[in-house]
Amino acid sequence: MLFRKIILSFLFLLNSLFAFAQQKSSISGVVTDSLAKVEGVSVVLKNTKIGTATNEEGFYQLLDLKPGSYTLVVSYLGKVNHTKQLKLEAGAHLNLDFVVKQDGQNLNTIAVKGQTKIVALKESGFSVNGIETKLFLNTTTDLNQLLNRSTGVKVREQGGMGSDFNFSLNGLSGKQVRFFLDGIPMETFGSAMGLNNIPVNLAERIEVYKGVVPVELGADALGGAVNIVTNQNTKRFLDASISYGSFNSSRAALAGRFTDEKTGLRININAFNNYSDNDYLMRNNPKYNAAIKVTEGDQVVLKDARRFHSAYRSTMGQADVGLVDKKWADIISLSFTYSNLYKEVQTGVNQDKVYGQVNNREQFFMPALKYKKQNFLVNGLTVNATASYSINRSNVADTSSYLYGWGGKGRPEPISGEINDIKTIYHYKNEAAIARANFAYELNSNNSLNLNYTYNYFARSATEDLGTVKNNSFDEPNTIGKNIIGIALQNNLLGKRWSNTLFAKYYNFNAFVRNAVYFSPDNSWLKSDSELAQNFIGYGIASRFKITAQFGIKASYEHAYRLQEGDELFGNGIDVASNKDLKPESSDNLNVGVYLSHKINEHRLNVEGSYFYRNAKDFIYFTVGGLYSNYANLGRAKINGAEAEIRYNYSDLLEFSVNATYQNAINNQQFELGTGLKDATYQDRVPNQPWLYGNANFSIGKNDVFGKDTRLQFNASSQFVNWFYLNWESRGSAESRNKIPSQLIHNVAVSYSLKNGKYNVALESFNVTNELAYDNFRLQKPGRSFAIKLRYFIK
Amino acid sequence: MLKTNKNQILLVALMFAMLGFSSCSKKSDPVNPPETAEKDYSFLVTAGTPSATYILHAASLTEGTATTAGNGVETDLTVVTAKGGYYYATNSAGNLVKFTSDNKKITTVKEIPFNKISWAYWSSFYIWKDDKTLIFFSVNGGKQYEYATLNVETMTFTANGNINIPVPPTGYYYWGNSATFVGNKLYISYTSNADATDLSVNESYLAAIDYPAMNNITVTKDARFNFPSHYTLHMPGAFNYNGTAYFLNSPTIWSTAMQNKPFAIYKVNNGSTAVDANYFYELTDRTKEEALGLFNAGNGKAIVKIVDKTQIDGSSAYSTKFITDYYVVDVVSQTKTKINMPRSVAGAYTENVIVEGDHVYIAAKTADGFYIYQYSLSSQVAKRGLKLDGVNSLSRFERMK
């Protein structure tokens, strides 16, 4: 098989390179402070151009060194911490660890420290948003809200806490964007572990890769990928918080770590519990065709109504036990994650359809094994491997004996369910196994190789309790297995001013579906077990050129895929038929950008801007048939867009940022499916998609206002989304075209910290002007809400 | 089970609207259409990929262009039927809406709760008893027949309840209803599918019911037929002529996996409660062609779509391939005449034919585009007329004024 050949070639290449690398001298080590490994520490050889900075593991290495005498200078936050004279023999490897000193833990230092990784992301060739969570740790923000404030990202939520959402990145969305938690694909995690649940306190930063995705995140990500990175380096800390607010909403989060220096034993604990009644007022809004219709006797009355079946709870607990800093492993750990969800379903595809009893309960369990080692077998080779197995059970009960509307309980209904035409209690079971191995090899200070392999197995089965549904295609699992291999070569030129990453990705999948329906040549519908395997190759490049130390340009390109899923290829055996000719969605993605950082005394200015282009085809749409429907490659879109962000800081007093994104997504489907007839909406703007949006954030804070080691902080943020059409802009009369109205939402928060951030209290208001907001047509979001949050943090 | 998901699928269908979903069983009298000074025809169409739905209007069917470009009303209403210048539709709240429209906007006359019956697209149908009386029918969960009678002038329900056709045995559900009135006798022809396989029991049933009491129910079966046209009863599959009810058996690939039965017309004679065992008019070679739709053309004639079965390779063939011819079928003399017009897309269950006296108007998507073809029943000549521009598919076509 092709991917075996790729692995063999890579191993052969590595072997040759090891032999080459062994003859050079090198220095490596780990930099820590009194508590944790420190990232962004500068390590340079004085009077040479040789130098580097520690990575997030506090690790540095200087490779490809000539024998001789050197002075090694270690500095952090602009201050020299250590200088060391040393002599290097030919072929020798020196291991030098350092401990740096820091000035306490005030918030400013933490923020600056966090920015080092963000700067590294910004200065990579990829188009990437690095979002630091540290400034938001005292707020009740979840990861979706944080992501929604960054350029190119639009999260469209259907309602309040725990509601379904659609994540779009530079105009591509849904399954076209993949999500990772510390590099592990999240799509099988179940909804309790979604971005709309994970509290900000559990993440250190979020990386949003747009259109072009590094091979380390092994997935078929057509439009980009989001990687949530948790804190890995602090040796001991505890972060506990609880909040309470409008709609009986509460959020509790706990994150902690204990590391025993002597034995290397490390224990991580993460947990959260979110609850909300989500009983916000649904406001009658006929102007935007979003009336609230209440049945009163034989009349339909338009008036406001309160949500009554929208409660949501999600609970997660994770324990991770492992060993660190062993000769054979930097980290080896075993973790267990359990999550549990209860969700009441209030509405159907829009707020007109009201449910009163349907609910969903989910339980998710995942053991996972992690292993990481730098200088694995040879100097410069880092291996990072994870393996996990997960099981997600979902129970959907649709057994109401009544129909519901905004007026509450309606007429009795003895036969039908609320969602299905027959009352049902479905039990779905999703099993997933994921194995990932990443090999990063630094050939010398200017060249590195990365090989990533991801295996992803997914099986879905279902049972039904009431016995009314006898034709259940999921009684035996449908499965899909994916192998994704990525290989990347990173090369620096012109004294590291020009950096290039060339990569290729190999995708292989094997899908198996029970009793798939297909059309036979003898003019009849037949059912049989169906299996299909396919391979695809993607490729790309990311490049960055530093014009000055603070000003650079970058460009990246990828030919990307979103593979077909089992049910898209083979249907469900009930009413969706096979389409073995279905192709994967594919896209050519291009980004061109600039960045600038400028610092004068305490003033810091950061500017980023980029242009993006996507040429996507073979969108997989559900096409309705008679007895059997199917999936078909129907849509094509060309997207041109631009985004920019300006951020200004003054010392630790003031921060102001503003960003905007514009995208022009054009329907590129020239002909109607299967005919030579021109599609009337060819070259029209793709409907039902925000195309102009922006954010502004302002924060001002001062230390030691009411006593030593305190900080008072005020944050305000605003989000704007321009109105957009629900359907095609060229079709239909202007009077009848439905619009999703513009929204301008303001949020404010005030927080007060004592004892250098050990005790924190915050008061917040979301949507403080009580704007009537819709992300989706006829799906109203919550109005104004308030919350108070208490947080305890020690490190 | 098919029906479990069918409702959602069909709701999606409204958004995609690749093919048709609504019609009336009994149009205004085709022989003597009312003449008004200004005519108004309407088209319920879709445009774009993914599609959106629009209502277009035109004053003439014989010339000009009706376009969706900046014209027509974007709507998400699901039109059930239209009569006397008004549309009757369900909306996403599940309410029933009476409205009018022009090329710019919709004007709602009345919106009422539609909770007297379990309306679901796969199992529901309707009949106009007269110009004022619209009767909705449904088979709740595929088991229990129900009805609700609407006075369209007052928009109030005057009667509703169950129709006591015996419920199917456990493991089966009713499907494929086709219905018509002969006087005050209501005939419903239907079949039964197995829950486990969605396959028909390969026989058809006829329920004869007294209106308005909805009692005195007689159920008979006929094993010659297995799928009374049609899929959701939103294209006519039955009509009455001279007191005799005519039905079409139409086991299309689109609608059933059981295709070993004929595309044939059967009838129920005046006053009878069972299908006439001596009448059997097979319209075409069941292995080569399919017949669907029975559009009443008056004088014992009907317009039928005949689809080249050899070209069908799945559901999408009905919306993408130009494989459909139209015929005038005489159910009395048992003869058929082909209408001389280009082959067009089948559009499966679409209400795309209207008859005004001698003239038959057919909305046809051909390789040259979407046009209205005008056919004279007397001279047997077909002419191309109005062009429908910027239209992917059509699900309804009717005269409003």
**Number of other CB atoms surrounding residue A492 within 10 Å:** 16
Low-confidence ranges of chain B (pLDDT < 70): 1-37, 230-233
Mean pLDDT over A753-758 rounds to: 92
Average pLDDT (A581-608) is: 93
Nearest partner of A682 among A672, A695, A694, A668, judged by Cα:
A668
pLDDT of A113 higher than 70: no
* CATH number of the domain where residue B343 is located: 2.130.10.10
B371 in contact with chain A, both atoms CB, cutoff 8 A: no
Report pLDDT for A687: 92
Q: Are B211 and B128 in contact (CB under 8 A)?
A: no
Task: Give tens-digit pLDDT for A693-744.
Answer: 999 999 999 999 888 999 999 999 999 999 999 999 999 999 999 999 999 9
In the structure encoding, which two tokens stand for residue A490, read together? 């990173």
Count CB-CB contacts under 10 A for residue A119. Answer: 17
Tell me the pLDDT band of A9, cut-offs 50, 70 and 90: low
Q: How many residues does chain A have?
A: 795
* pLDDT confidence of residue B2: 42
Q: Which domain holds residue B169?
A: 4-399
Q: Is the pLDDT of residue A234 over 90?
A: no
Query: Residues 305..344 of B with a Cβ closer than 8 Å to A: which?
Result: 309, 312-316, 318-322
CA B38 to each of CA B104, B354, B356, B361, B400: distance values in angstroms, whole numbers, following the listed order: 18, 18, 15, 18, 10
Q: Which tokens sit at A763?
A: 């008061």
Q: Of A523, A624, A686, A729, which to mutate for an interface test with B (greatest number of B Cβ within 10 Å)?
A: A624
Out of A230-234, A764-768, B17-21, B168-172, the most confident range is A764-768
- What is the pLDDT confidence band of residue A115, given thresholds at 50, 70 and 90? low
**pLDDT tier at A472, thresholds 50, 70, 90:** low
More confident residue, B171 or A607: A607
Test the A interface: residue of B2, B3, B4 with most A CBs within 10 Å: B4
Q: Residue A646, exposed/middle/buried by CB under 10 A (0-12, 13-18, 19+)?
A: middle
- The answer to whether the CB of A545 falls within 8 A of the CB of A531 is no
Burial A237-271 (b: 16+ CB within 10 A, else e): bebbbbbbbbbebbbbbbbebebeeeeeebebebb
The Cα A193–Cα B34 span in angstroms is: 64
Comparing CA positions, the residue from B155, B141, B60, B158 lying closest to residue B110 is B155
The yes-or-no verdict on residue A105 having pLDDT over 60 is no
DSSP for residue A354: B
Across the interface, whether the CB atoms of A734 and B70 are under 8 A apart is answered yes
Give me the residue from B115, B144, B254 closest to A411, CB to CB: B115
State whether B316 and A623 contact (CB < 8 Å). yes
- A626 vs B231: CB contact, 8 Å cut-off? yes
Per-residue model confidence (pLDDT) at position B36:
54
Q: How far apart are CA A66 and CA B19, in angstroms?
A: 74
For residue B1, the model assigns a pLDDT of 43
Q: Per the CB < 8 Å rule, is A736 touching B104?
A: yes
- Rounded CA gap, B125 and A775, in Å? 36
Average model confidence (pLDDT) across chain A: 88
Q: How far is A162 from chain B (nearest CA, A)?
A: 23
Q: State the Cα–Cα distance between residues B190 and B208, nearest whole angstrom.
A: 12
| φ and ψ at residue B381, rounded to 5 degrees | -110, 135
How far is residue B367's CA from residue B384's CA, in Å, rounded to a whole number? 13
Question: A455-464, A602-611, A646-655: lowest mean pLDDT where?
Answer: A455-464
pLDDT score for A232: 78
Q: Put residue B92 in one of left, alpha, beta given phi > 0 → left and psi -120 to 50 → alpha.
A: alpha
Q: What is the pLDDT at residue B14?
A: 38
pLDDT for residue A477 is more than 90: no
Q: What stretches of B235-341 show up as alpha helix (H) in DSSP?
A: 317-320
Give B82: exposed, middle or buried? Use CB within 10 Å, 0-12, 13-18, 19+. Answer: buried
What pLDDT sits at residue A51? 81
Q: Taking the model in full, what pTM does it have?
A: 0.87
Q: Is B189 on the interface with A (CB under 8 A)?
A: no
pLDDT of residue A474: 59
- Mean pLDDT value across residues A638-650: 95
Per-residue pLDDT of A321-373, as tens digits, reads: 999 989 999 999 999 999 999 999 999 888 999 999 999 999 999 999 999 99
What percent of chain A lies above the pLDDT cut of 70?
A: 93
CA-only gyration radius of chain B, Å: 19
CB contact under 8 A, B105 and A736: yes
pLDDT reported for residue B30: 47
Nearest CB among A415, A469, A624 relative to B9 is that of A624
Q: Which long-range contacts does A67-71 make (Cβ < 8 Å, 24+ apart)?
A: A67/A25, A67/A92, A70/A45, A70/A46, A71/A45, A71/A46, A71/A47
In 10 A of CB A66, how many CB atoms? Answer: 11
pLDDT band for position A27 (cuts 50, 70, 90): confident
Above 90 in pLDDT, residue A606?
yes
How far apart, in whole angstroms, are the C-alpha atoms of residue A410 and residue B330? 48
Residue A220 burial by Cβ neighbours in a 10 Å radius (0-12, 13-18, 19+): buried
* pLDDT score recorded for residue A721: 97
Label the pairing between strands A408-412 and A402-405: antiparallel
In which region does residue B271 sit, left (phi positive, over 0), alpha (psi from -120 to 50) or beta (all else)? left
With a pLDDT cut of 90, the percent of chain A lying above it is 56
- A13's enclosing H/E stretch is helix A2-21
pLDDT at A413: 87
In this complex, the residue of A422, A627, A680 whose CB is nearest that of residue B68 is A680
The total of other beta-carbon atoms located within 10 Å of residue A30's CB is: 21
Measured between beta carbons, the chain A residues lying within 8 angstroms of B3 are 421-422
Q: Which residues of B touch A727 (CB under 8 A)?
A: 48, 52, 74
Domain count, chain B: 1
